[in-house]
Structure 1
Amino acid sequence: MIQYNSKIEQKVSLLHAMGWFSACLFILLLQGCKHDNLTVPQPNENIRPAADFIHNNYEMRLFDAALEKTGLNVELNGNGPFTVLVPNDLAFNEIGVFRPADLDRMNKDSLRRLISYHILQRRLYVSDIPSNSVDFRYATLEGSELYASIGSISPGAITPTNMLFFSGAKAVRKDVVLSNGVLHVLDKVMKPQFEKNIQDWLSDKKDYNVFVAGLKKFGLWEQLAEKGPFTVFAPTNEALEKRGITMEFLNGAVPQNYIAEVLFGAYIMYDKHFFISDSQVFNVINSNGNYKYHLKDKIHYMEYFANEAYPTWKLSYNMRLRDNDTFYSIILADVTYAVGAKMDYLCSNGLVHDLDQGLVSPDQAIKKGKDEK
């Protein structure tokens, strides 16, 4: 009897052991079948707020210095969301800023407005901007608007190719994710003239004294205070001198003897708000970035286009003036300009671009049968 009970106890112990093993196996199987969606995601500690991210990137040290100088670094580490458009150090170098100490030459309030123009109070990814659009406006932290232009190749694809510009500055790095927003790196500093129209802006620059005097002499000046928009390619004093236009010439010239719309009007594009980069975007959208138009005299014909010129790959523009729009027309001027730092000066009624080559000499704009007195 005792032996029988011992066998029973052994069997019961075995069953208990098997039960414990099965329970463990069942728990392991449950863990192995756990679905990823049931896992609570952990925050990525490597994603930093905007100011911290900028502070820890070497190519952004000058923008970082500007943030610290203006106190905007504290704001950019807040909750956001923000979109930060960061000109890299090479962009600051183009406008003469090579080290943080160079920013001390700038008025602190003016610098704050400039840097605030590079910040949006929202998340703006490339996919949020309408494909193949030009001059699409977004409000900035400064209070005014900037202009986004984007040319998209295969916009419906999973990974489309996008050429993106903000107020004429190319985004060379896009959609950098931040804990409180997103960041895009630009190849130039955006330079809005917040309260100035084109007339105000030109009046402040000694390099364009002869151009301003010529516009006044030939009745083209007052319009540049109007709403516009205008795009003005402003020749420097030296550029006009090479074409025979100086203060001495203007003092003795008789306006009635010249076609004003050619002599000085050739530098003005009417009813057009034209960043140099817009031509690049048009080239993506319709495979033709050229813009052709008659001057105000309805005869002379201008061809304009822009491209990234080899070997520097800097964005440059070309202006070609013809005496008419026929196949047999004569090219009167053909100039190319490629100094990115002096393009896209955004004013309240349009844009100004620097031009170091003159287009038209007085003898090319003189009216037939007229001699200068």
Structure 2
Amino acid sequence: MNRNIKYKMAKMRFIGCFFVYLSISILQSCKHDNLTMPVPNENIRPAADFIHNNYEMRLFDAALQKTGMAVELNEAGPFTVLVPNDLAFNEIGIFRPTDFDRMNKDSLRRIIAYHILPRRLYLSDIPSNAVDFRYATLEGSELYASIGSIMPGATAPSNMLFFSGAKTIRKDVVLSNGVLHVLDKLMKPQFEKNIQEWLSDKKEYTVFVAGLKKFGLWDQLAEKGPFTVFAPTNEALEKKGITMNFLDTAVPERYIAEVLFGAYIMYDKHFFISDSQVFSIINSNGSYKYHLKDNIHYMEYLANETYPTWKMSYYMKLRSNDTFYSIILADISYSVGAKMDYLCSNGVVHDLDQGLVSPDQVIKKEENEK
């Protein structure tokens, strides 16, 4: 082999080694973040510390301090904390931390514990398009999660999530010991009370209770159910001519009880007001229609978020029957969010500040013919 060939071969080997060395040097000098092990974010705080340092949660923080639960929520967990924001507390008349001083400490602790789950529950953990899916709480009872994930034909998910009627307005806030969701209202469980017991304790419904008793519809509300009750206030019934004086002299046999008082009761249904909103996402129709117990009169129930407050409101329409030419006997709406979604052991109660029908509208036919 001549000298020129040897020289060229040696030169090629040198150039090859140089490029190999250069490539290794470049690779070693580059930082590949996607190849490194993730380092825990030291800025992520445990639940109680996170809540304490967020201004929109100052009243929930005060409740944690009052009940002694703040220490517990900084422990290992894991927890899912459902935090009503300050506006949610304002809605029920709590504006400052000292307002908790007038509340029973044990009762307050139970309510706050109902807003905490002893597990991590992210949005993605809840079944798609679920309605009233149950989860155990730190209090010991169960709450209900409903989610409208995606509408038919939609390309992007809605993921409208509610817990026992309260809407999540901020989801999946990561904590070092769990996860947090922010709610727009305080959940209102009645724990061991059934609907009958709960209504009996409220003076604003005394005429409604007396009417249910008078017309034979009261005893059932202590049974298993479930029931959804739209409870008219004393003032609402008075505007329809239903007072204690009327009930004292009324002859039940003259009236259609299933309409006069039964129209306020939805049987075998457990509806938070927000469930209608979830139905509108699942099947594009949140309206629920059903016959009353007399099998003639027809009800329609719907709920939606109304402009400009975007607070949940509900609507009820009572018809004389289910035909196209039926007469609309009542068409009402209600939007006081603080007085909706009272969860009892055998169903849910909602407040109603308007009556549906007057006694004259539901007199039995044979009575009219006399």
Q: TM-score by structure 1 length?
A: 0.90
Distance apart, 1:155 and its partner CA: 10
- The Cα of 1:369 is off from its aligned counterpart by 2.7
CA contact (8 A) 2:80 2:118 kept: yes
Asked if structure 1 preserves the Cα contact closer than 8 Å seen for 2:150 and 2:156, the reply is no
1:256 lines up with 2:253 in the alignment:
yes
Check 1:220–1:372 CA distance in 2 against 1; reply closer, same or farther (3 A cut): farther
Checking the alignment, whether the CA contact within 8 Å between 2:151 and 2:282 is kept in structure 1 is: no
Letter matched to residue 330 of structure 1: I
SS of the aligned residue for 2:199 comes to helix
Equivalents in 2 of 1:155, 1:117: separation in Å? Answer: 33
Secondary structure of 2:365's counterpart equals: coil
Match of 1:5? none
From 209, 217, 220, the equivalent of 2:217 is 220
1:197-236 correspondence runs (5 A): 197-236=194-233
The SS at the match of 2:76 is coil
- SS in structure 2 of the partner of residue 369 of structure 1: helix
2:125 aligned with 1:106: no
Query: What is the one-letter code of the residue matched to 1:365?
Result: V
Distance 2:252 2:299 in 1: 22
Deviation of the 1:87 alpha carbon: 0.2
> How does 1:17-32 map onto structure 2 within 5 Å?
28-32=25-29
Return the alpha-carbon distance in structure 2 between the equivalents of residues 158 and 186 of structure 1. 26
- Is 1:184 the counterpart of 2:206? The answer is no
Equivalent residue letter for 1:118: H
Q: Does structure 1 retain, via aligned residues, the 8 Å contact 2:233–2:351?
A: yes
Q: Tell me which structure has the larger Cα radius of gyration.
A: 1
The corresponding residue for 1:63 is: 60
In structure 2, the partner of 1:165 is 162
Q: How large is the Cα RMSD of the aligned pairs? A: 2.2
1:159-193, Cα deviation, whole Å (9 max, x unpaired): 73310000000000000011111100000000000
Identity over the aligned pairs, expressed in percent?
Answer: 84
Q: 2:361 aligns with which of 337, 341, 364?
A: 364
Aligned length: 353
**Is 1:243 matched with 2:240?**
yes
Deviation readout 1:273-332 (Å, 9 max, x if unpaired): 000000000000000000000000000000100011112211000000000000000000
Question: Cα offset for 1:28?
Answer: 4.6
Q: How does 1:68-79 map to 2 (within 5 A)?
A: 68-79=65-76
Contact residue 146 and residue 166 of structure 1 kept, 8 A: yes
Counterpart residue identity of residue 267, structure 2: Y
From the superposition, tell whether residues 317 and 178 of structure 1 become closer, same or farther in structure 2 (CA, over 3 Å).
same
CA distance in 1, matches of 2:106, 2:258: 40
Contact 2:151 2:284 in 1 (8 A): no
Secondary structure of 1:293 counterpart: strand
CA contact (8 A) 1:240 1:246 kept: yes
2:52 and 2:30 mapped to 1: Cα distance?
44
2:275 corresponds, among 271, 274, 278, to 278
CA contact (8 A) 1:257 1:372 kept: no
1:125 has 2:128 as partner: no
- For the residues of structure 2 that align with 1:223 and 1:53, how far apart are their CA atoms? 46
Match of 1:349 in 2: 346
Supply the distance in 1 between the matched residues of 2:369 and 2:237 (Cα, whole angstroms): 18
Distance 1:332 1:356 in 2: 17
CA offsets 1:57-82 (integer angstroms, 9 cap, x no match) = 00000000000111111111011111
1:65 maps to amino acid: A
State how far apart, in whole Å, the 2-side matches of 1:296 and 1:26 are: 83
User: CA contact under 8 A between 1:253 and 1:372: conserved in structure 2?
Assistant: no
Q: 1:294 is matched with which residue: 281, 291, 295?
A: 291
What is the letter of the counterpart of residue 176 of structure 1? V
Query: CA deviation digits over 1:225-257, x for unaligned, max 9?
Result: 000000000000000000000000000000011
Equivalent position of 1:46 in the other structure: 43
Instruction: Confirm whether residue 336 of structure 1 aligns to residue 328 of structure 2.
Output: no
State whether residues 257 and 371 of structure 1, in contact with CA within 8 Å, keep that contact through their aligned partners in structure 2: no
Against the structure 1 CA distance between its residues 256 and 48, is the aligned structure 2 distance closer, same or farther, given a 3 Å change threshold? same
Query: Which residue matches 2:141?
Result: 144
Structure 1: 5+ residue stretches without partners: 1-20
Give TM-score scaled by structure 2 length. 0.91
Q: CA deviation at 1:44?
A: 1.1
Which of 290, 305, 309 lines up with 1:308 in the alignment? 305
- Residues 59 and 369 of structure 1, relative CA distance in 2, 3 Å threshold: same
